[in-house]
Amino acid sequence: MMKVFVLGRRESAAFAERRLCALDDAGTLKILSALRPILNTSGPLERVSLSVLSFVILLTAHRYNVQADRLLKTCRELEYLDEHGLDRLPKLIDELIDTLWFYAGIEVTPALPESDVRSVQDLTNELFAVLAVHTPEHLMQLAQDWDHPDVLEQLQPFARDPEDYEPVFSPTHIEFMTSIEKTHCIFAPSGKYWGADDWRSADSFEANVRRFGEGLFRFMAVAKQEKFKGFAVRLPAEMSDSVESLSRTTARFLDALNRIDPAHSTCLEGPVGGMGWKFDWAGEPMFLTAFGTCYPENHPRYPYGFDHTYFFFQPDFVLRAHPSLTPEKEPVSRARILDSFNKHGMDYDNEGKEAEAERYIRPMNPCDPPVRWWRDLPARAGHHPVVEPVA
């Protein structure tokens, strides 16, 4: 059933696009609220309600990058059947509604919001397990059942506005996920990611960063619950047509982001770039990986043929949660990543680049000195952040 779940997730996204019934949290909540009274009745679900429910479960799993849990491998074994009874549906749906209400209500505040709601990761797996036990024949013909007029009639009125930003449907996310499939980072393919809203050429640089900041905040709040790995931002290609322009873009972007930091971090007002320094936002330190159009195909920061500049943000709480990046395992894991890139002719090294800030941008040649992007930070009243890193 793990494979059926993964394929069903993909099929729900393709069906949503084909039949114009892609959902966001608001639409999903309305459909679940309408289904909820039906779940209180005894007996099996009738075909239309079952189809609506399976579509919502799988599309929600797609929107939150849910991975198949091992319980799907055992849920239909005799000893586990009682754990996945139909009588569990009402409680699981109530819990999913609570979680989506929490996520839909996230607003930028000085600190990331916290909640004891259960993750979409756990809930959609458990809901799918119930369907796998009681309606296996439906799971073998999902798209056929979803395409019934009565099912579409219950889905399409709640479809999201395609002009609105939804992380997993954004062009940034879709393009970035294609690059994830090509990268030689050994840990990237197993990660869960979101993409920012697209760049708007009619808006100012700072206005775009403000929108990206709203998306970053929501990502960070959700990532703590769902164990996401990173947030991708896409900018115009000309902003990285040389290493120097990428340095200026990085400095300008982080400066603009810092100015709207809800936690009012002073990380750019003192010494920047030395050992131990970190960029932090919304109260959380994070790492930035910059990809630029200036880099050739054999460079680890090449954007895989896409004509865009990319910034990839990873909060420390994400990195430290990775089992291969514990203090004991991190040196070995990073060496494995370096070896993987070098093996494929995309050489880089960290010698002379021990400080995190020195690895945000990579020089054109791996042995060149680090790119000191912080030298391009604008001076502020009473502060000048341009300093040399600690030797």
Q: Does the predicted model carry a pTM greater than 0.75?
A: yes
Closest CA to 318 of 196, 148, 192: 192
Adjacent-strand bridge partners of 233:
311
Specify the pLDDT at position 386: 43
Residue 337 neighbours by CB distance under 10 Å: 18
Positive/negative CA dihedral, 236, 241, 247, 248? negative
| Mean pLDDT, the chain, whole residue set | 88
Number of residues assigned to the chain: 391
Backbone CA torsion sign across 103, 6, 340, 295: negative
Query: Smallest Cα–Cα separation from 185: which of 302, 273, 276, 308?
Result: 302
Q: What is the DSSP string of 97-117?
A: HHHHHHHHT----SS-----P
Q: What is the pLDDT of residue 38?
A: 87
**Among the listed residues 221, 167, 176, the one whose alpha carbon sits nearest the alpha carbon of residue 194:** 167
135/126 Cα distance (integer angstroms): 14
User: In 3D, which of 391, 364, 360 has the Cα closest to residue 373?
Assistant: 360
* pLDDT tens, N- to C-terminus, the chain (391 residues): 999 999 999 999 999 999 999 999 999 999 999 999 888 766 778 999 999 999 999 999 999 999 999 999 999 888 888 888 888 999 999 999 999 999 999 999 999 999 999 999 999 999 999 999 999 999 999 999 999 999 999 999 999 999 999 999 999 999 988 877 666 554 555 578 999 999 999 999 999 999 999 999 999 999 999 999 999 999 999 999 999 999 999 999 999 999 999 999 999 998 899 999 999 999 999 999 999 999 998 888 888 878 999 999 999 998 766 555 556 655 555 566 566 556 655 566 666 567 899 999 999 988 899 999 999 998 764 444 444 433 3
Report DSSP letters for 296-312, one per residue: -TTSTT--TT-SEEEEE
User: If residue 313 lies in a helix (H) or strand (E), which one and from where to where?
Assistant: strand 308-315
For the stretch 86-111, pLDDT in tens is: 889 999 999 999 999 999 999 999 99
What CA–CA distance (Å, rounded) separates 315 from 176?
18
d(CA 146, CA 348): 49
For residue 367, what pLDDT is reported?
83
What pLDDT shows up at residue 177? 82
Other Cβ atoms within 10 Å of 297 Cβ, number: 9
Backbone angles phi, psi at 300, to 5 degrees: -65, -15
Q: In which element (H, E) is residue 117 found?
A: none
- E strands, the chain, in order: 193-195, 230-236, 279-281, 284-291, 308-315
pLDDT of residue 179: 74
Rg (CA), the chain: 23
pLDDT, tens digit, 9 for 90 and up, residues 166-202? 999 999 999 988 877 666 554 555 578 999 999 999 9
pLDDT of residue 270: 84
CB 96 within 8 A of CB 124: yes
- Tell me which residue of 158, 198, 190, 151 sits closest to 174, measured CA to CA: 198
Q: How far apart are CA 234 and CA 192, in angstroms?
A: 17
Q: What tokens appear for 341 in the block?
A: 């890139």
H-helix or E-strand containing 39?
none
Q: Which residues contact 386 (CB under 8 A, 6 or more apart)?
A: 272, 374, 375, 377, 379
234 closest CA partner among 257, 258, 209: 209
Place of tokens 């990380």: 267
Are the C-beta atoms of residues 58 and 12 closer than 8 Å to each other? yes
Supply the DSSP symbol for 390. P
Q: 């945000």: which residue's tokens? A: 360
